[in-house]
Amino acid sequence: MFPVEQLIEHYRVMLVIRHFEETLNRLFGEGLILGTAHLCAGQEACAVGAIAALEPDDLVSSNHRGHGHFIAKGGEPKRIMAELFGKATGYSGGRGASQHMADFSIGFLGMHGITGGMIPVATGAALSQKLLNTGQVVLCFFGDGATGSGAFHEAVNIGAVWGLPIVYFCENNLYAMSTPLQQAFKNTDIAGRASAYGIPGVQIDGNDYFAVRQAAEQAVEHARAGGGPTLIEAQTYRIFGHSKSDDCQYRPGDEEQLWAARDPLKLMGQRLIDGEIISEVQAEQLHREAQSMVSEAVEFARRSPAPDPQTIGNNLFSQF
């Protein structure tokens, strides 16, 4: 089994992600954050369980629903929050907002708003690792909707042909915006598509940290040993709407209830308590710590300065 201290730490990170997203949802409601965001509450076991399988210098690529991936890879909640507030202390100096943050120093290759857009980028990063013989592995997150893009097909095919050290990790939350999986694909077996590329494919319970970590460890080991990519399909569910303006009218209430009963935080918390790894009191304490970490992040973001207008021309490809 996994080391106990790691399990507690990963549960703590899952709680931070949940409080971060719940807080953001509230701040949007209060009109304190402009633009949009795609919240990952409900999908924490995917981010934390899969990244748990990596070494610190391995690489992660994300998508539009990326706050959890970033926090799990070691991104600082206060700098992510500052970016969402459009402040100079944010990861992109307040210019990128929710979908455009990266930190190469911790191996986080970034989020992106183009559906499927990071899959070829991550595949290119994996090619670099192979050519430079670094021994590092790339973990590439994307949604079920992204698997309908040409970018997915082309990248996974070339990743397979070249035997690249990459794990393709699909968070299948059953919807792409308001379109259910069954309306987007005649064949809804995403893991099964791996056979078209000649690589292993595995379908797992994406709300179970242990199942995710186990599958990811196997895939990472396979990639690091030169075996090439694996396609993991993790079945999960987002708690909030697709983005801030979506009240999920297209989702059946009983489906939401079914998944609420299988909330990844509930499952992980119960598992740790049942295994006598933590007590109920400790679980409460971890909740409070996560909550205050997020409150501090909000305070940091509020107090931070706005970007200096003099820097408006910085970091542009074309100057005016």
Ligand X SMILES: Cc1ncc(C[n+]2csc(CCOP(=O)(O)OP(=O)(O)O)c2C)c(N)n1
Q: Which of residues 32-61 bind ligand X (CB under 6 A)?
A: 38
| Of the candidate residues 14, 52, 102, 146, the single one contacting ligand X (CB under 6 A) | 146
Q: Which helix (H) or strand (E) holds 18?
A: helix 4-29
By CB under 6 A, residue 173 contacts ligand X:
yes
Single-letter amino acid code for the residue at 93: G
| Of the candidate residues 85, 91, 169, 175, the single one contacting ligand X (CB under 6 A) | 175
Number of chain positions touching Mg ion (CB under 5 A): 5
Q: Using alpha carbons, list the distances in angstroms from residue 30 to 33, 34, 94, 306.
A: 8, 10, 20, 19
Q: For residues 70 and 142, which CB has a smaller minimum distance to Mg ion in the complex?
A: 142
Per-residue DSSP letters for 239-285?
SS-SSTT---TTS-HHHHHHHHTT-HHHHHHHHHHHTTSS-HHHHHH
By CB under 5 A, residue 44 contacts Mg ion:
no
- Indicate which of Mg ion, ligand X, none lies near residue 177 (CB less than 5 to 8 Å, by partner kind): ligand X
| Of the candidate residues 64, 78, 79, 130, the single one contacting ligand X (CB under 6 A) | 64
By CB under 5 A, residue 144 contacts Mg ion:
yes
Q: How many other β-carbons are positioned within 10 Å of the β-carbon of residue 44? A: 32
Single out the residue of 306, 308, 309 nearest to residue 82, CA to CA: 306
Closest separation between CB of residue 67 and ligand X, Å?
A: 12
Kindly report the CA angle at 215 between 233 and 194, in degrees rounded to 5? 40
Kindly report the CA angle at 94 between 92 and 100, in degrees rounded to 5? 45
Alpha carbons within 13 angstroms on the beta-carbon side of residue 182 total: 0
Are the beta carbons of 224 and 138 closer than 8 angstroms? no
For tokens 């911790």, name the residue: 106
Q: Which of residues 239-268 bind Mg ion (CB under 5 A)?
A: none
Are the beta carbons of 175 and 206 closer than 8 angstroms? no
CA dihedral 230, 127, 96, 175 (to 10 degrees): -20
| Of the candidate residues 34, 35, 57, 114, the single one contacting ligand X (CB under 6 A) | 114
Could you give the string, one character per residue 274-313, with x where binding to Mg ion holds by CB under 5 A and - elsewhere? ----------------------------------------
Q: For residues 177 and 202, which CB has a smaller minimum distance to Mg ion in the complex?
A: 177
Choose the binding region for ligand X from 71-79, 137-145, 191-199, 258-266 (rule: CB under 6 A). 137-145
Are the beta carbons of 91 and 123 closer than 8 angstroms? no
| Of the candidate residues 110, 116, 120, 143, the single one contacting Mg ion (CB under 5 A) | 143
By CB under 6 A, residue 248 contacts ligand X:
no
Closest separation between CB of residue 157 and Mg ion, Å?
A: 22
Question: What radius of gyration do the chain's Cα atoms show?
Answer: 19
By CB under 6 A, residue 115 contacts ligand X:
yes
By CB under 6 A, residue 237 contacts ligand X:
no
Are the beta carbons of 125 and 167 closer than 8 angstroms? no
| Of the candidate residues 173, 230, 235, 304, the single one contacting Mg ion (CB under 5 A) | 173
| Of the candidate residues 74, 113, 124, 180, the single one contacting ligand X (CB under 6 A) | 113
By CB under 6 A, residue 144 contacts ligand X:
yes
Judged by the rule CB under 6 A, the positions of this chain that interact with ligand X are: 38, 64-65, 113-115, 142-146, 173, 175-177, 242
Judged by the rule CB under 5 A, the positions of this chain that interact with Mg ion are: 143-145, 173, 176
